[in-house]
Structure 1
Amino acid sequence: MIALSSSPASRFSSVDPTPTVRLSSSYEAQRPLSRVAIVASDPDSFVDDFAYIATVPTGVFCDNGTQYVSPVVFSSGSDSEMWFVEDWAQYLETDGGISQGMVVGDIPQPLLVDLQDTLGTRLYPRITGSTAAEIAAKLAVSEWASSGTAVVALASDTFTQPSTESGSATHTLSGRESSTESFSGSASFGAPTSNNFTPPSWAVWMHGQFNWSGSEIMTHELINPSGEVVDYSVYTQMYFSRNPAYVSSPVPMQFWLPVTEYGVWTMNVTTDQTHTTALDCKVTYHPGYRHTIDVPADSKSLDIELRWDNVATDLNLALIDPNGRMVMWAPAGSILSNPGLESISLPYPMPGEWTAIAGWMDATTETNNIELSWDISRFPENLGSYLESAANGAVLASLLNAPLLYASASDVPAVTEWALERLGVSNVVLVDPADIHQTSLLTELSGLASLLTIDTYSSLSGNITEISKSPDVVVSVPVGTGDEFMAPAAYSAAVHGSPIFSLCGDDNVMTTRAQETWAPYLIGPEINNIYIVNKYENRAENGWYDERIPNKFSMMESVDSFEGFLSSRGAYNATAPQPVVVVAPVTLIPTSFDRSLQSHFQSGRIPAETADLASVLINRGLLHRYIYLTAQSADTALVSLYAYTDGATFIDNNYNYYTLTQIENSTDALESAGFDIEYHVGLDAVVSSIQSQVALWTLSTHGTLTLLPRDPPDRPNGPGFFSMRTVDAKWGFEISESERESSGDSDKLVNPVAYQSELQYHTTVSTDEFEANLGDIGSPIVIVTACLLGGSELPLMMMRHGAVAVTASPRTVYFQPAGMLSVLLAQHLCDGLTTGEALSQGLSLISSDYSNPLDDRNPRDYANQQILFGDPSVKLYDPSVDVHVPAVNPLHTSFGAHTPGLGVNPVAALGISDYLPQSLQAIGAQFDYYQDTNFSEFVSLLSLRTVTIVEPGAVSVYVSNLTAHSDEVRTFVESGGVLAVIGVDDDMAWLPWPVDYASSGGGSSVTITDSQHPLLTNPNTLNSTMDYDGHFAQVWSNLTILATDGSHPVFAAGSAGCGKVAVTTINPTGGVRDPFIENLISWSEVPSIRLRSISLSQQIIWAGDQLVITLELTDMVGNPIEAASVSVLLNSSAVATTDLGDGFYAITLDGQWTGVNVGDFDLLVHASLAGYDTLTLHLENVFTVRPFPWVMLGVLGGGVAVAFGGYLYLKRRSGSRILRNDSSKMTKRERERQEKKDTKVDPKEYFGV
């Protein structure tokens, strides 16, 4: 029994055994499973999201203290997906390959064929359903033979989309110009000196300048009337701003922000001198307009636009939340950036009264008509609560090794009740932490089993962490369109053994605080080409606003809010660091939120823009321990240091001293950890090395978002540009490789572009240009030490190509602290720390720790805002130490009552007597027997069967039922099932493929026409002595005739899609029955021959042309069929074939043949090979030979390739054409075959033939 309490300390008890799942635990407690689950992705539906979540407990589950893991992939056919599943298949080759592949949902047949070829295994069963509850129920009965416990979560297939709320307001600004108030202030030693001022009631924006004469360095904090610090400066930045070596004249302390509230504002000034210094204080006030907007609960976005008609003026826009905090703004400093228009798109605003502020900078007495307009979109009601219920249900089900089923908030679907009864569930755990279910649901569930309800967040967290012992947390956000990130995030949470929460919980308060951290990033850097320019006089990044990017007080408010968010859910651990996985695009939750959590929280971002890509990135990261071994250069690190620190002294936050030699410090650690080192800074060499699939790439260079300044900056999705060399060298240098740093500057910084001799070799590379040369790069960890690239497309691009972790900063970084961080990252990773631990420890040593800020001093650096893109549990592995972990074959291993893919007996027998039960029992088959009394269950479980056999004489009894379910029969076979109809005795029109039965004739002996066919030889050899009644007047042209009555077919079989169908009028009796039935069952394991592609040497064929037709034959998983017996008919004419090897066969039609044979030609292929099913395939209108024209207008040369996937390759009953272009990528297996072919010597090449 499972005991549960509703208190925050509630726990599951008496769960035996209790799994241990911790990121910090050794991988001895985790084992890979040799299986894969592919879930169809539909970004416009919610069914696929809940289907994916229901699949998670089949790919991640705990049994006897071990966590078993295998991929669960949201499939769209992307390159990223194919590279990942190819790597997974390659890892498992040592263990015999993938033993089990499952498909959930409707995936296009061509994509399935490509996936099967890539994985090298058959993807079956294919579990489909019209509702998420149906899919979950089928998954449960497919995976579990029985289960005493089931987890039930809430799910809905559709949600009502609320209408968008819109509004507008107009206002005329006239007669009020900006004005400056000057007053005297002071600064005294010992404590901050307060200098007060009160903005006038008409002011909406202000710019303060506090200056002084003298050499002392001062800093400030600006405090609003509510007592909150909203602006500040730091000592190091003010030092440079006042230093004549860096500025033409000293720069005052400044602030620039909207007037968020009226009253007395205080400028607290601190000086480093012991005397009192007079301050020259100026505050310029700008007029404008304020308007309140009521934002309802569950808002998805607030989109506001400001327009004005005096377009040669500069207006700015800001949004103030109901608590009076400035959350977002449009602070463009140039009227040319967007004349007459500013806009803000704010995701996930908190409810309440917001204030929009439109401020006219440097206003005149002219007239300016302005208009504010806004749209507020909302989530469907309770969407986030449903997703949280399902996702956490998946985590709990994984920990308990129990199935996940679905209910609505009010009742239990019939299909869920059916699954509960079939599995024999006695204990149901209802997961609904938001407590949105109704009493009627509890009543129904209580009537089905003993019910335990988790209806609070603290109870949910307590139960999960008690079992997993993991402090980890996963957070995401709902989207509301059906492309939901909470679905793949559930897989992450299951592996981490952690609760998963929507950051939109608590009415978007947490998301609002997260958005606030990004506002300063809308003030961009000053750049000259790719290089950052120090302009302390300007309001810019790298200018006097630099240290506010991000605002440390907003960052601390964010992490404090997150601690409260977790505490209210019973998930905050104050005594230990907490890894946090953030699954959301950077456009929805800014990466500055992740950085705000450092360093108590070890955050890692999954930045995918779609749910299907998120699933790939999550799977790749969490399975990195295994698939990293498939990389070609897993024992090699690439060091690309173009601009870097070389020999400088560095002091960290704890006053530890270092001599920072970035190259040697990094490579010494890597070499000590057993890695070979490659040094490259030339673009082509770097690309080549990355393509060799190195384990780690550390890059130190110049970077920027765009080549020219943009206002506002293109952040977070700037294209990204960085510096490299056109000619390769081991590293960047100012003089030579041996004299890296010039004695002329002695700044201990290597900056090649500052030297004309090196500038000529400099090149600027964009992310797009870099990506154009990349393919599958393995699974590297990437350390980026460059300005701004963390706010560009580079990190996500690298992850799409395989990188499991990328660290990069979205803002400007500075040489020494950034270089020190890159060294610490490399050293920590080599010491065995996770990427999350490595970054957190590095940041806490040399930069801002917002969760535990320094009390008595500023941190050494504020600009290291590096973000970890990727799962924080990723490690750097050494192939000589972290060796192959044998995978567990789920088909041969017991996990209690969890029998992956074998919850339903593989054979279904449909009959009218004990004929099939007696035979199946005699041969030891696992089967279920069905008659008309339980025909509905026969249909409901059909898609989960491997083989379905219809008893002799049963067709006439079930013809009406079979006709009604003809579509289900087609789906079963084409998905990969085997259908055998024996002793046919009635009309076969219900069969999706044309077979006409005739009752005339009969006998006790047949004529065998394909004596080598596996149905007649494996494992039993059948002779011709078999009773039959009737024959087939016609059979589908893609079936192979195995036996006749002398003139008419009585036994035919062949492939249909990915499955097989056999029909016969033979009625096996006596000693023939059991061997015959055993052959039918064994047939499911026999490989089939498939025509994978056909190519023509030219598109347009004239009489007298030579034509070469090339056939590619493979099995269903892409292995080439070599040395087969292949015969081909073109219409009725037999033509010769030539075996080219490696599964390719050629038909050469010379000019004489095409000269006398014109018109349209069908192609009939017959291919056989011992141990394989015979291929019989009829293709219509494959090519046309045209009569040679008297006037030839033009001939188009070149070849055309036509590929065939599953049933699309077969002649349809309707007679439609089946040719299609093959756009699939070359798989690793195909590349290996091509490389093998390329090594063969072709004598023609030597003789110029």
Structure 2
Amino acid sequence: MAGEQVRKAWRRYDGLPPKAHIVIVIVALMMIVAPFLSAAGSGGAVTTQDSLDPNGFLGLSERSTVPVSRATLVAFDGEDLMDDLAYLACVPASTFYSEEDGVTVTSPLMFYQPTMDSPSDAETALDAGVGIEYLMQDYVTASGSRLSSVTTVDVPRSEAEGMAARWNADQLVMIKGGEAAGTAARIATANWEVARTAVVAVVDPSVSPMDDVVTGNVSGTVPAVGTVGGEFSGSIEPSFHSESSHNFDVGDQYKFVQAVLEWSTPGPFPGLTQRGKELGMHLYQGEIMVALSTEWNAFSGPLDTAQSFVYTPGPWRAAVVFIPTMGFNAPGYDGPSYASRVFEAAQYTITYDLFGGVDMPIPDVPAAGARNARFTLTWEGGRELGLLIRGPSGQEIASAIGGASPGRHELEVAELGNGMYTASVINLDGQAVEADFELEYEWTETMSELEVEGLVGATEAAVLASELNAPLLYATPDGVPGATIGAMDTLGTTDVHLVDLTGNYDRIIKEMGSFRGAGQPGIAITTHRDLDVLISEIADLGQRGREGRQDVVITTLNPWDYWHTNSNAENPQGERWGGRFFGPAAYAAANHGTPVLVTEADPRLSCSNAYHNVYWLRAYAGRSPAPVGAMYLTGQQVVDAIASYGLDGEGMESLLTVAGQFEIGTAWDRALVGATTPGRIGGTPVDASVWISRCNTYPLVIFANPGVDQSIDPHDGKRIVGSRSTRTLGTLRTVEPETEVQMDNPVAFTWACYLYKFNERASEYWGASYQAADGTIPNESPSDHPWDGGTLPDICEDVFEDYSRQAGYGEAESAGYDATVENLN
């Protein structure tokens, strides 16, 4: 039986170099004969063969995954795309699917960046080399304290040799960088001895940033529609789950709605008793919330405003909620007292106004990645007009409502997607009189069609090659480079999957057909020219070895905008045009068994991406809430795009976004909650490659955790706890210093919240208890779990400690920042 397993392993890796044969067969044999060891530790370092059974572990895609003790590093260059294309070529060499055995074989694949000598505090987010060292320490430990090989691409010799020495590598393979086709050819011949099948992607590696300015203008007339409105009054008691609603109708002639909520609550000392007694207002179009008020009465007084574009005329409603927004542990409060309790209902009034206007489609359609857009609205006659710029799904991107220079509005939008945009001009002065206007616009297009088509095709080609266990090579729109021809001859390639979204396939097919002479085997070519079909084909291949689960990986071609950790910094600090995320995204997709959706390749994704980038530039520093309507509309666009590719199966898909916070704005993830299970890997492109490598091999490297195996713990199982302090007459006094405590299976607690027995005290303070969406009430509803003592726990931070203690974990609870970081590391 063991011999047959080894023979299968040999056949499975028959395309790898002889040394790789030996390493993998040895690993396969060790996996077969070594006993399975539990995660509890056996007194020694846990090795690869110790922690895996012969079928590997259940990987990200719910396929069996077999890690091998090697690592690949590609030198990161933020100035051009050669490193990105080299990284793509390394994807099928680092992760591939063995159809014979039904397993994915994987190993870490990272961009390489050396650690910074002495980064400033603001630059710590850019020191990605630290992450490489952290991961590889774990991976080497989990692999039995040595690696079979380290492969580097375009890494200086001294640094490559240093890594191989630190990681106890039996072999160092250094591959020269340079132009894309030659580098890919060298990667292929270094990793395959024979490759009957190869994937060739058509990409122009010489593309450079564009700077094409598009300008235009459009004129129109605001119709003679005056302002109408109405008023509602009512009362509401404090509640965590109920609301008071008022319905109104919006006619077809109206384009904008604004509502103002004013309220009062009884109490003897308004300055004291009104603190945190917060009413809020939500605007609904039908059942969809499109806007909500965000004022806090501690600053604005008892007044809230909500406004929205009229996405759809018809039934609308305004809803009032009365929910606490401030804890009652503010200075001067030891706890709720009768003087500060609020049981009485609040009295409120809602006044709403409807404004007429007109929608003007922008006749020019921006290309994906259009930047620095400017829209200028001018008019005459002393009128008051407003301007909204909206995306293809109707989402409001930017607005100018009031406060303009007489007769002029100017809006700047940092980014536009590839879709039809609309300018909505609103009559704000209430006059039922027409008003003429002119709108001028301009933007700069930074990505050529050739860049988008080539890079999207190459990204998909890398995943396709991984599924086919085939090398990835490159052609250009001008033809097939000699390096690619040479590699196919060396590898004995007879079948080529040609991925060409640029439209040059006829020339390339003809050229490939003339490669081989009489008596030589010809080349059979399968073309992939349609992106939708290619995505479907990769998704079908990715279903092998698992039962129906479909993951989604999304990324962007947007260059990396780097940032500093200084909270006062004007981020982003700048752009690295050659820093891209599509390589790590392809590596993640290859491990998930799914294609990559690149936002620039689909107008729905492109425009949603652009919206979230624009919003996040405004919001990241203060984390201001996103407009609800735009969040819904852009999220729905993304979900529609996923469904159109056949990737929307039963239940919620696991959706991974691979991009930095300014490449796909962070609120993008929140917009997809509910329809998907979203997650993100970001940071720098180097960070992304490291974290994806860690995730791909997580079931292995977790056993290199010193918290699991004390034999590899330099602190012998000790963690820092404390200190404890008290405040006397306003003076903080430490009563118990930090100490080191021996513990098993430590969990680090970092308290960033202040909630403590919330419902127990809120019921007294507010006269209401928090109720979850499923109807359960913490601290009141019964619990079936024996560790809860019959009742659901309250909303209280120390509940986590109680649960971890009952589960057998140690509590590494430290108060100081340095001690917390030390515990985590």
TM-score (norm: length of structure 2): 0.63
> Which of 527, 534, 557 does residue 453 from structure 1 map onto?
527
Whether 1:145 aligns to 2:193 is yes
Give the counterpart of 1:686 among 817, 820, 824. Answer: 817
The whole-number CA distance in structure 2 between the counterparts of 1:291 and 1:349 is 18
Report the equivalent of 1:598.
673
Matches within 5 A, 1:1105-1116: none
Structure 1: which amino acid aligns with 2:496?
V
- 8 Å contact from structure 1 (residues 307, 341) kept in 2: yes
Q: Is the contact made by 1:319 and 1:354 (CA closer than 8 Å) also made in structure 2?
A: yes
- Work out whether residues 295 and 349 of structure 1, in 8 Å CA contact, stay in contact via their aligned partners in 2: no
Deviations 1:560-595 (A, max 9, x none): 33332123223222x143221111122232222212
Alignment of 1:911-930 (within 5 A): none
Match of 2:78 among 7, 22, 43: 43
Give me the whole-angstrom Cα distance separating, in 1, the residues matched to 2:542 and 2:151. Answer: 27
SS of corresponding position for 2:750: strand
Contact 2:755 2:796 in 1 (8 A): yes
| AA of the residue aligned to 2:682 | P
State how 1:950-1029 maps to structure 2 within 5 Å. none
* Corresponding position of 1:65: 102
Q: Would the aligned equivalents of 1:648 and 1:659 in 2 still touch at CA under 8 Å?
A: no
Given the alignment of the two structures, is residue 440 of structure 1 paired with residue 494 of structure 2, yes or no?
no
* 1:578 and 2:637 correspond: no
Verify: 1:283 aligned to 2:341, yes or no. Answer: no
How many Å separate the matches in 2 of 1:468 and 1:317? 51
In structure 2, the residue matched to 1:828 is none
Seen in structure 2, the aligned counterparts of structure 1 residues 196 and 615 have a Cα distance that, compared at 3 Å, is: closer
Task: Please state if 1:675 is matched with 2:809.
Answer: yes
Q: What's the secondary structure of 2:77's corresponding residue?
A: coil
Following the alignment from structure 1 to structure 2, what is the Cα–Cα distance between the partners of residues 357 and 376?
Answer: 23
Deviations 1:533-552 (A, max 9, x none): xxxxxxxx6xxxx7xx441x
Partner residue of 2:737? none
**What code does the residue aligned with 1:347 have?**
E
1:160-175 pair list within 5 angstroms: 161-167=209-215
Letter in 2 for 1:53: L
Structure 1 pair 613–344 and aligned structure 2 pair: CA distance change class (3 A): farther
User: Does residue 664 of structure 2 align to residue 589 of structure 1?
Assistant: yes
1:583 and 1:594 map into 2 onto residues whose CA distance is 11
Cα offset for 1:362?
12
Shift of 1:332: 9.6
Question: Is 1:660 aligned with 2:804?
Answer: no
Q: Does 1:483 align with 2:579?
A: yes
Shift of 1:602: 1.9
Q: CA deviation at 1:462?
A: 1.7
Equivalence for 1:355: 423
One-letter code of the match for 1:283? D
Q: What amino acid is the match of 2:598?
A: S
SS at match of 1:68: strand
Is it true that 1:611 corresponds to 2:685 in the alignment? yes
Rounded Cα–Cα distance in structure 2 between residues aligned with 1:478 and 1:525: 21
Q: 1:622 aligns with which of 696, 702, 709?
A: 696
2:607 to 487, 512, 516: 512
CA distance in 2, matches of 1:50, 1:205: 48
1:391 aligns with 2:459: yes
Q: 2:542 aligns with which of 424, 442, 464?
A: 464
Larger radius of gyration: 1
One-letter amino acid of the counterpart of residue 396, structure 2: V
Distance, in Å, in 1 between the alignment partners of 2:774 and 2:660 is 35
1:296-311 paired onto structure 2 within 5 Å? 296=365, 298-305=367-374
Where 2:755 maps in the other structure, the secondary structure is strand
| TM-score between the two structures when normalised by the length of structure 1 | 0.43
Distance 1:22-1:425 versus aligned 2 partners, 3 A rule: farther
Seen in structure 2, the aligned counterparts of structure 1 residues 233 and 305 have a Cα distance that, compared at 3 Å, is closer
**Higher RCO (CA 8 Å, separation ≥ 6 residues):** 2
Q: How does 1:992-1141 map to 2 (within 5 A)?
A: none
Q: Please give the alpha-carbon distance, in whole angstroms, between the structure 2 residues aligned to 1:421 and 1:37.
A: 25
SS at match of 1:208: strand
Amino acid at match of 1:392: E
Q: 1:296 to 1:181 in 2, by over 3 A?
A: closer
Q: What is the alpha-carbon distance in structure 2 between the residues aligned to residue 687 and residue 314 of structure 1?
A: 56
Correspondence 1:230-309 to 2 at 5 A: 231-232=290-291, 251=303, 254-257=305-308, 267-268=316-317, 281-283=351-353, 293-296=362-365, 298-305=367-374
Note the C-alpha offset of 1:52.
Answer: 0.8
1:1231 maps to which residue? none
Partner secondary structure for residue 195 of structure 2: coil
Structure 1 residues 643 and 446, CA, compared in 2 at 3 Å: closer, same or farther?
same
CA distance in 2, matches of 1:621, 1:24: 8
Where 1:662 maps in the other structure, the secondary structure is coil
Q: How does 1:870-881 map to 2 (within 5 A)?
A: none
> Shift of the alpha carbon at 1:21?
8.9
Distance 1:108 1:286, change over 3 A: farther
How far 1:179 moved relative to its partner?
Answer: 9.2
Closer/same/farther in 2, CA of residues 556 and 86 from structure 1, 3 Å limit: closer
**Which residue pairs with 2:721 in the alignment?**
none
Kindly indicate whether residue 231 of structure 2 is the aligned counterpart of residue 136 of structure 1: no
- Give the fraction of aligned pairs with identical amino acids, expressed as a percent: 20
SS at match of 1:652: coil
Please say if residues 22 and 496 of structure 1, whose CA atoms lie closer than 8 Å, have aligned partners that are also in contact: no
Contact 1:407 1:416 in 2 (8 A): yes
In the alignment of these two chains, the number of paired residues is 622
1:258–1:357 CA contact under 8 A, matched in 2: no
Q: Which runs of 5+ in 1 are unaligned?
A: 1-14, 364-368, 533-540, 695-776, 778-1249
Structure 1 residue 471: Cα displacement: 1.5
Instruction: Show the 5 A alignment for 1:362-377.
Output: 374-377=442-445
Deviations 1:871-930 (A, max 9, x none): xxxxxxxxxxxxxxxxxxxxxxxxxxxxxxxxxxxxxxxxxxxxxxxxxxxxxxxxxxxx
Q: Following the alignment from structure 1 to structure 2, what is the Cα–Cα distance between the partners of residues 145 and 472? A: 32
CA contact (8 A) 2:614 2:665 kept: no
Residue in 1 that maps onto 2:643: 567
How far did 1:211 drift?
7.3
Tell me how far 1:466 sits from its aligned partner: 3.4
Q: 1:222 to 1:655 in 2, by over 3 A?
A: closer
3-state SS in 1 of match to 2:600: coil
Is the Cα contact below 8 Å between 1:32 and 1:68 reproduced in 2?
Answer: yes
From 313, 328, 332, the equivalent of 2:397 is 328
Q: CA deviation at 1:475?
A: 0.9
SS at match of 1:158: coil
Equivalent pair of 1:75/1:81 in contact (CA under 8 Å): yes
Structure 1's 357 and 126: CA in aligned 2 closer, same or farther, altered over 3 A?
Answer: farther
Q: Deviations over 1:776-804 (max 9, x none)?
A: x4xxxxxxxxxxxxxxxxxxxxxxxxxxx
Q: Specify the alignment match of 1:104 in structure 2.
A: 153
Q: Does 1:56 align with 2:91?
A: yes
Report deviation, 1:316: 7.6
Does the 8 Å CA contact 1:331/1:523 hold for their aligned counterparts? no
Q: 1:26 to 1:199 in 2, by over 3 A?
A: closer
Cα distance change, pair 112–370 in 1 and its aligned pair in 2 (3 A) = farther
Deviation at 1:75, TM superposition (A): 1.8
Q: How far, CA to CA, are the matches of 1:495 and 1:82 in structure 2?
A: 24
Q: Match for 1:558: what amino acid?
A: T
**3-state SS of the aligned residue for 1:590?**
coil
Structure 1 segment 733-748 matched on structure 2, within 5 A: none
